[in-house]
Amino acid sequence: MSLLRFKMVDAAINHTAAEVKIPAGRPSDYFGAKVFGRDAMRKYLDKSTFNALVNTMENGTPLPFDIADSVAAGMRQWALEHGADHYTHWFQPLTGGTAEKHDAFAEPDNCGGVLEAFSGKLLVQQEPDASSFPNGGIRNTFEARGYSAWDPASPAFIVDTTLCIPTVFIAYTGEALDQKTPVLRSMQALNRQTLRVLRALGDTQTTFVQPTVGAEQEYFLVDKELFDRRLDLKVCGHTLFGAKPPKGQELEDHYYGSISERVRGFMRELDEELWRLGVPAKTEHNEVAPGQYELASVYATANIACDHNQIMMELMRKVALRHHFACLLHEKPFAGVNGSGKHNNWSMSTESGLNLLNPGDCPESNTLFKLVLAAVVKAVDEYQGVLRASVASAGNDHRLGADEAPPAIVSVYLGDQLGALVDSIVKGGNYVGGKKTQSSIGVPESPIFPKDATDRNRTSPFAFTGNKFEFRMLGSQANVADANICLNTIVADALEQFADELEGAKDFEKAANSLIKRELKAHYRIIFNLDGYGPEWEPEATKRGLLNNKNTADAVPVCYDDKNVDVYVRQGVYTREEAIARADIRLENYIKIINIEALTMIEMAKRDIIPSVSDFIAELCSNAAAKQAVFADLPMDTERELVQKLSALNDGA
């Protein structure tokens, strides 16, 4: 067991460098080649259709049906020329993954042949079964009809020979059964309420504000041959039995270490596949645990970032198999070493590129920044329970609070600069701003490099990192939509309250500063700038009245509280039925996963462990009998004690 438990990449089957696929050309030569993006739209759509579609994508204006027909014709031609012969509505049901039903472009021509047909009607809407996906009781088995509807804001792409069209997924009765619909709704809510604050501030130029997200994806690679010998890895995604290896991560030599050629070959091919699909994969490196790695993509809007992360996880699994690996996205595949998370970098930007979470050189006089900061702090404090629940899962329960994972207590880290700013606002006194300084190692020929005003805190669940917040609690196999739906909604709700108070204020600056001070003081308890792993934090958090829901069974029930349901309803993100259904689904999924793991443990014990122990007992007895036949006076205490112990354990199993 122990050999299979941690025997990963370094001791795996070797493949020569000749087998490693080297991408042809520069990334810029083929980036987005399999995406029906702006360049393809210009080539395959007439000017009026192109302009109408861009207007829909950028401004949310309804798309006329005749325009949909024109888009479908151009999209079909582009797809056929790129080798596609099928199309599918690609959507994200509440399974954590994606779903697709493939249809061929081929339609009978009534003359014994076929035509490559694809209409606006097929582009815009299809009808998948809505009762066979998790729905929390919204759909009964005998009420099966649901609809998938095209999301023009997310470009279509080609995987293998299938045109994938990103869509929402709703029930016949109108409820959202997917992740994309509430993401879009929450983005609209955040846009609506932020614009109200901007208007109160005197900004009449900004037309929209959108959340931007950058997701960092961690994962394990395990040799496929070894993976196939472990029932627990195949069924549950993590080991249920085993022992720690003689060497794990205690020498701290794997993080950022040299990447083996075999793994580098996997990464090269994964990068190429992602770039062709328009996913801006950027940073990759060895993670802390043996066999663990990370891949991060460049920022995108929350909607696109959620799609990109789903594409990334799907391709990781597919490309890994081509390199004789199994890609494990479970949060804790192996005990004794770090688990895998997903850091969700969240911010807010206007159409002109203004980052509302950028403090600038003088944050003390940046009223807009201080308002947004106060709104985020207020939102995280008031809805810490639902924010924690948004990342709750059976797998993540193994990880939170361990190495490289924040504790289950939600808190906000602001760092020295913003911490001092908030202290000056809440407690009074002068603010002495922390500015970027220069640093050197003291060697004349070494470069002088800028030093940030604030350090980073890896133990914080929700940390400010320069011009964004890094939400570090997400599990590696999670759909990032859940966390971002929650963040967008609760911050929108805080901004709505701010707008209600500031609109019509005779002295905006005075009213804004009074509001900022009041709200930061009221929610000061959520700010913690020290070590989240320290033994003093948990009792301190209890004293502050912060929640500490360590597992899914404790975390999810807060989602049923009226306050936590109402915030989604008030912002138009969920109906009451949708909000409650999602909590039901999360708990039901947790129960099912725990049950599957229990059944797998029983199966492994009966099939592998008990027979192996019985064989070993028989071998011990045989050896002892042989020794006693030759050496009659030789004591057999060691063998006897071991046989008795193993027999008792085996009988107990």
Question: pLDDT > 90: what percent of the chain?
Answer: 73
73: three-class secondary structure by DSSP: helix
Phi, psi of 106 (to 5 degrees): -70, 130
Question: Alpha helix (H) ranges present in 87-179?
Answer: 120-124
- In tens, the pLDDT along 26-47 reads 888 899 999 999 999 999 999 9
From first CA to last CA, the distance across the chain in angstroms is 17
Name the pLDDT band for 19 (thresholds 50, 70, 90).
low
What's the confidence (pLDDT) of residue 107?
85
Buried b (16+ CB within 10 A) or exposed e, 539-554: ebbeeeebbbbebbeb
642: three-class secondary structure by DSSP: helix
Nearest C-alpha neighbor of 545 from the set 377, 375, 382: 382
Residue with tokens 């259904």: 581
- Mean local confidence (pLDDT), 482-510: 96
- In tens, the pLDDT along 259-301 reads 999 999 999 999 999 999 999 999 999 999 999 999 999 999 9
Nearest C-alpha neighbor of 307 from the set 482, 161, 84, 479: 479
CB within 8 Å of 310: residues ≥ 6 apart:
92, 97, 98, 479
Residues 526 and 546 sit within 8 Å (Cβ to Cβ) = yes
* CB atoms inside a 10 Å sphere around CB 58: 13
One-letter identity of residue 415: G
What's the confidence (pLDDT) of residue 16?
41
Rounded-to-integer distance, Cα 165 and Cα 152, Å: 9
Rounded-to-integer distance, Cα 259 and Cα 476, Å: 21
In Å, how far are 366, 373, 374, 423 from 427, measured between CA atoms? 19, 17, 15, 5
What's the confidence (pLDDT) of residue 5?
39
* CB atoms inside a 10 Å sphere around CB 97: 12
Rounded-to-integer distance, Cα 618 and Cα 622, Å: 6
Least confident of 245-249, 460-464, 587-591: 245-249
* CB atoms inside a 10 Å sphere around CB 71: 26
Residue 25 has pLDDT above 60, yes or no: yes
- Mean local confidence (pLDDT), 343-371: 95
Residue 17 has pLDDT above 60, yes or no: no
What's the confidence (pLDDT) of residue 312?
98
Name the pLDDT band for 20 (thresholds 50, 70, 90).
low
Name the pLDDT band for 242 (thresholds 50, 70, 90).
confident
Residues 15 and 265 sit within 8 Å (Cβ to Cβ) = yes
- Mean local confidence (pLDDT), 492-501: 98
Residues 161 and 86 sit within 8 Å (Cβ to Cβ) = yes
What's the confidence (pLDDT) of residue 11?
36
- In tens, the pLDDT along 72-115 reads 999 999 999 999 999 999 999 999 999 999 999 988 877 878 78
Q: Which residues pair with 231 in a beta bridge?
A: none
Residue 569 tokens, joined: 């309803």
Nearest C-alpha neighbor of 238 from the set 371, 339, 108, 370: 339
Name the pLDDT band for 482 (thresholds 50, 70, 90).
very high
Residue 409 has pLDDT above 70, yes or no: yes
What's the confidence (pLDDT) of residue 447?
75
Long-range contact pairs involving 264-267 (C-beta distance under 8 Å, separation at least 24):
264/20, 265/15, 265/19, 265/20, 265/21, 265/323, 266/221, 266/319, 266/320, 266/323, 266/325, 267/293, 267/295
- Mean local confidence (pLDDT), 384-392: 98
Q: Where are the beta strands (DSSP E) in 32-173?
A: 86-90, 102-104, 106-108, 114-116, 125-126, 146-150, 157-159, 162-171
In Å, how far are 123, 330, 433, 481, 549 from 340, measured between CA atoms? 37, 7, 36, 18, 20
Residue 444 has pLDDT above 90, yes or no: no
Residue 14 has pLDDT above 90, yes or no: no
- Mean local confidence (pLDDT), 243-272: 90
What's the confidence (pLDDT) of residue 23?
58
Phi, psi of 405 (to 5 degrees): -130, 140
Rounded-to-integer distance, Cα 517 and Cα 94, Å: 40
Name the pLDDT band for 568 (thresholds 50, 70, 90).
very high
What's the confidence (pLDDT) of residue 508?
92
What's the confidence (pLDDT) of residue 6?
39
Residue with tokens 């979470």: 357
Residues 384 and 528 sit within 8 Å (Cβ to Cβ) = no
What's the confidence (pLDDT) of residue 441?
67
Rounded-to-integer distance, Cα 383 and Cα 558, Å: 10
Summary mean pLDDT of the chain:
91
What's the confidence (pLDDT) of residue 405?
85
Name the pLDDT band for 361 (thresholds 50, 70, 90).
confident
Rounded-to-integer distance, Cα 379 and Cα 564, Å: 12
Residue 647 has pLDDT above 50, yes or no: yes
285: three-class secondary structure by DSSP: strand
Rounded to the nearest 10°, the torsion over CA 188, 191, 197, 202 is -130
Residue 374 has pLDDT above 60, yes or no: yes
Q: What's the Rg (C-alpha) of the chain?
A: 28
Rounded-to-integer distance, Cα 233 and Cα 214, Å: 29
- Mean local confidence (pLDDT), 431-460: 73
Greatest CA separation for the chain: 104
Of the ranges 15-24, 536-545, 644-653, which is most confident?
A: 536-545
- Mean local confidence (pLDDT), 502-517: 94
pTM for this prediction: 0.92
